[in-house]
Amino acid sequence: MASVEETQEIPFDSQWGAGDGTQQVTENEHTDTLTSDKTSSRGKASLLDSGEDTEISKEDTDEDDPNDLPPLEDVGSAITFQDCKDEKFESEESSDTKVQRVEESEGADSGPVTADDGEKPEGEWLEVLGNGLLKKKVLVAGRGELYQPQKGQNVTIRLKTSLEDGTVLQEEPGLSFTLGDGDVIQALDLCVQLMELDETAQIISDSKYAYGTRGSTQPAIPPSARLHMEVQLVDVEEAPDPELLSGRERLDLANSKRERGNAYYQRADFVSATNSYSIALNIVGCNSKVDITVEEESELLDVKVKCLNNLAATQLKLEHYESVLKSCSAVLQHQPDNIKALFRKGKVLALQREYTEAIAVLRKALKLEPSNKMLHTELSKLVKKHSEQKNIEQAMYKKMLGDIATSSPSGPPSKSPWSIPWKWLFGASMVAVGGVAVSIIVAARN
């Protein structure tokens, strides 16, 4: 199990500005390992997707020099969020697996045919998702439905994975994982929930629920491979309570979940990565009921900050901006000068057009890393954008004020000289005529 000090860094995700810095993760360049390594049945999760440290592929980066940004923590987001008391995220259970019983038709290529409801005899196919891409058939019956594992329990299976032509790709005599945590490929996570203890089943999975279009190097799985898996459920037990684990056990378990998130991030499966980081946060964030050392407390906090930073990276990819701000704020609560959290917070504030606050956050980051070229570039762009916005607003205000100044004042309209009422004109005319008549009479008498 890799220690905290040995953990590698994740890519600096970019949706705004001039691009991501690219960091290393604990995974081979094209390794998308989605099955866990062997673990003990006492509840320790396996170290998943380990490998040599390599950089993330070119398409995941932007044009700027990736060395300009400090490295980030490992990133591996229907989203499952899980909340613990201290910066934990609420779990959103996936909908119940839709199971349809189908009879095996004559010839494997003809597809399954829906069967009547009833018991599940051996040799009968279950269409797990109803879309023909994931099927399960009982080869050896188990102990009964009372012995079916539940989500959150630890299971151990024997696994043999082959291609459709019979080529064996993988054999695991004792693969242990936590059911429903995303520790293994989706096909196994879904189908093992439908098995009974001691049952042996055959599973046929489309690449969509296995290793996808990218395949894997460990185990060696070709791209877009349709897989045939023979699975025996050999053990089911309750998962350990994180509050009762020793400090070292909690660190190991949390790191395994975090590294799992890194693998999902590498596959651009940000939803699953979010789930893995949230589970890791639950483990490090819950109150311990056993004594742990000061050193272990410090290491747990370090893992917590890494998971929060990685969670913010996946949330940014998913454009869940308010969640990014929440994750970054949680980091800054523990480490006010964390460059990665400040940078992402500034990015999100800029995306939300909160330019004044975004500039203040990035300026703080730049004071901490004055030689960081990317911060200089992004801050310059943001200041320019803010200035342009202010100029536009000022021009708009001036136009509004100018229109008001040039418009006619309110009040009663001025009367024109021709607007005198007719009755006054008539009266004035009569007075004038009367005056003329009087003048004529006076003149005649004289």
Task: Report the candidate in 153, 154, 148, 147 with the shortest Cα–Cα distance to residue 41.
Answer: 154
The β-bridge partners of 94 are none
More confident residue, 234 or 440: 234
pLDDT digits (tens, 9 = 90+) for 72-84: 454 433 333 333 3
Q: Convert 39-57 to b/e letters by CB count within 10 Å (16 or more is b).
A: beeebbbbbbbbeeebebe
Q: How many CB atoms lie within 10 A of CB 146?
A: 7
Is CATH 1.25.40.10 the classification given to domain 4-94+241-377?
A: yes
Q: Is 265 left (phi over 0), alpha (psi -120 to 50) or beta?
A: alpha
Lowest-confidence segment of 47-51, 200-204, 232-236, 346-350 by average pLDDT: 47-51
Cα 34 from Cα 205, distance rounded (Å) = 14
pTM for the whole thing?
Answer: 0.65
pLDDT digits (tens, 9 = 90+) for 145-179: 999 999 999 999 999 999 999 999 999 999 999 99
CATH for the stretch 100-237: 3.10.50.40
4-94+241-377 and 100-237 have identical folds = no
Domain ranges for the chain, please list them.
Answer: 4-94+241-377, 100-237
Instruction: With beta carbons less than 8 A apart as the criterion, state whether 23 and 56 touch.
Output: yes
Quote helix, strand, coil % in the chain, to nearest 5. Answer: 45, 15, 45
Winning range, highest mean pLDDT, from 122-131, 172-181, 395-404: 172-181
pLDDT digits (tens, 9 = 90+) for 286-306: 999 999 999 999 999 999 999
